[in-house]
Amino acid sequence: MRTIEQSFSVAYRYPVVFTRGAFDASSPIVHDVVARAGHGPHRVLVVIDSGVLAANPDLPERLHAYAAAHEDVLDPIPEPFVLPGGEGCKEDLSWLADFHRRIADRGICRHSFVFAIGGGSVVDAAGYAAALAHRGVRLIRFPTTVLAQNDAGIGVKNAVNFCGRKNFVGTFVPPFAVVNDFDYLASLDPRDLRSGIAEAVKVSLIKDADFFQRLYDRREALGRFDSAEMESMIVRCAELHLEHIRTSGDPFELGSARPLDFGHWAAHKLEELSSYELRHGEAVAIGIALDTLYCSRKGMISEAECQRVFEVLDSLGFERSHEALGRLEIESALDDFRVHLGGELCVCLLEGIGRAVDVGAIDVLEMQRCVDLLRGRR
């Protein structure tokens, strides 16, 4: 017998840009990002969220004009590929074959680009599709929601739903770049604006007590969606997520610990139970409330700290309960989460504001009491 031990490492590097008017013909942002690839001009397939297109009907025209103004790096851009916004594009994958047919017909190769313009679901789905074509076409994400700009659109994961399970099929493929254009936020409805703030609350609780204090102090302004506060929150939230991916030692989640999934074991199941009527951030807010209450009742954090978390969620306009919470089967949801992690249960909890701890077991009876308490409040 002979064994050859293979070992190599690959360094990834990509910019996450915060700007306005990214596709204004005079803006150098997209030009400079694409120019990093060299050997232009490059072919591009643009994927647009149907909701973004409805709110910005001139976007295809602006894309054509931008490519014309920057023809040294971009070939003319054909008509975009439109995906339905929201979780629907991750549930119904009938579009996937058409997407890959366009990749083939238009000669999109590994040196070309897919531009994904949309909310977290569209960015997730387009990233998954791009990762499959030619074993990976360069992806530039243009997240258009708060949730996508501070969390879903900036990391290394792409996924779609399958067998009734959220993000069951997917890839770990870093994007070529991320361009966060704050102008898109102006067309969002209050639920989508609010939904993204839940991830900021989450990451502050597990990573940065000072950031949580800032969210607490400015919770009323954030609840009004003050633009300056929202943009500041998005940037800091993105910084913390990117820092974790960069420094955790496990960017592709080969292990079981998922500190960025605080509140998510319940949130993912609540989304499924509500048939995705609950936005992801709304489900995360309930998951945060549930796990924070559990930590308080188990003596891991004080009642005062728990109350401060609730005050933030309430001021932001989140509900701490939903009818789907009454149908949550805790043991089953934890087991699904265990399988999602890779076979070993590891739940992120709090041992103080800004301090996370991983546990391998949950007191199911106590967690059920917490569920009952949250439902009773509603």
> Are 36 and 104 part of one and the same domain?
yes
The pLDDT, as a whole number, for residue 125 is 97
Report the distance separating Cα 225 and Cα 49, nearest Å.
Answer: 23
- Among residues 187, 211, 228, the one where a domain terminates is 187
Question: How far is CA 152 from each of CA 6, 149, 244, rounded to the nearest angstrom?
Answer: 33, 7, 14
Q: Is residue 195 part of a domain?
A: yes
Give me the amino acid identity at 249: G
Tokens found for residue 137: 């076409």
Give the pLDDT band (50/70/90) at residue 377. low
The stretch 299-323 carries a mean pLDDT of 98
The pLDDT, as a whole number, for residue 120 is 95
> Are 232 and 356 part of one and the same domain?
yes
The string of pLDDT tens digits covering residues 314-352 is: 999 999 999 999 999 999 999 988 887 777 899 999 999
End-to-end, the C-alpha distance of the chain in Å comes to 66
> Are 232 and 349 part of one and the same domain?
yes
The string of pLDDT tens digits covering residues 157-193 is: 999 999 888 889 999 999 999 999 999 999 999 999 9
Q: Is residue 250 part of a domain?
A: no
The string of pLDDT tens digits covering residues 249-276 is: 778 877 655 668 899 999 999 999 999 9
Helix (H, G, I), strand (E, B) or coil at 285: helix
The pLDDT, as a whole number, for residue 257 is 59
- Alpha helix (H) ranges present in the chain? 29-35, 50-55, 59-69, 88-91, 96-105, 120-132, 146-147, 190-207, 209-217, 219-223, 227-247, 264-273, 280-297, 303-316, 330-341, 364-377
> Are 105 and 220 part of one and the same domain?
no
Average confidence score pLDDT of the chain? 95
| Structural domains of the chain, count | 2
On whether the CB atoms of residues 276 and 87 are closer than 8 A, the answer is yes
- Among residues 141, 160, 187, the one where a domain terminates is 187
> Are 182 and 232 part of one and the same domain?
no
> Are 224 and 340 part of one and the same domain?
yes
> Are 153 and 241 part of one and the same domain?
no
Tokens found for residue 282: 């709304």
The string of pLDDT tens digits covering residues 6-15 is: 999 889 999 9
Which residues constitute the domain of residue 213? 190-245+256-377
| pTM of this prediction exceeds 0.85 | yes
Supply the CATH number for residue 366's domain. Answer: 1.20.1090.10
Q: Is residue 9 part of a domain?
A: no
Q: Is residue 287 part of a domain?
A: yes
Report the distance separating Cα 339 and Cα 61, nearest Å.
Answer: 45
> Are 158 and 238 part of one and the same domain?
no
The stretch 36-47 carries a mean pLDDT of 96
The stretch 264-289 carries a mean pLDDT of 95
Higher local confidence (pLDDT), 40 or 115: 115
The string of pLDDT tens digits covering residues 72-105 is: 999 999 999 999 999 999 999 999 999 999 999 9
Supply the CATH number for residue 165's domain. Answer: 3.40.50.1970
Query: CB-hemisphere CA count at 13 Å for 326?
Result: 6
The pLDDT, as a whole number, for residue 259 is 67
> Are 35 and 181 part of one and the same domain?
yes
The string of pLDDT tens digits covering residues 198-246 is: 999 999 999 999 999 999 999 999 999 999 999 999 999 999 999 999 9
Report the distance separating Cα 156 and Cα 173, nearest Å.
Answer: 5
Q: Is residue 166 part of a domain?
A: yes
The string of pLDDT tens digits covering residues 113-129 is: 999 999 999 999 999 99
Cis bond before residue 28 (omega within 30° of 0): no
> Are 155 and 203 part of one and the same domain?
no
> Are 142 and 50 part of one and the same domain?
yes
- Among residues 142, 170, 187, the one where a domain terminates is 187
Helix (H, G, I), strand (E, B) or coil at 142: strand
User: Per DSSP, what are the bridge partners of residue 74?
Assistant: 42
The pLDDT, as a whole number, for residue 378 is 44
Give the phi and the psi of residue 347 in degrees, each rounded to 5. -110, 130
Q: Is residue 8 part of a domain?
A: no
Q: Is residue 81 part of a domain?
A: yes
> Are 182 and 324 part of one and the same domain?
no
Q: Is residue 162 part of a domain?
A: yes
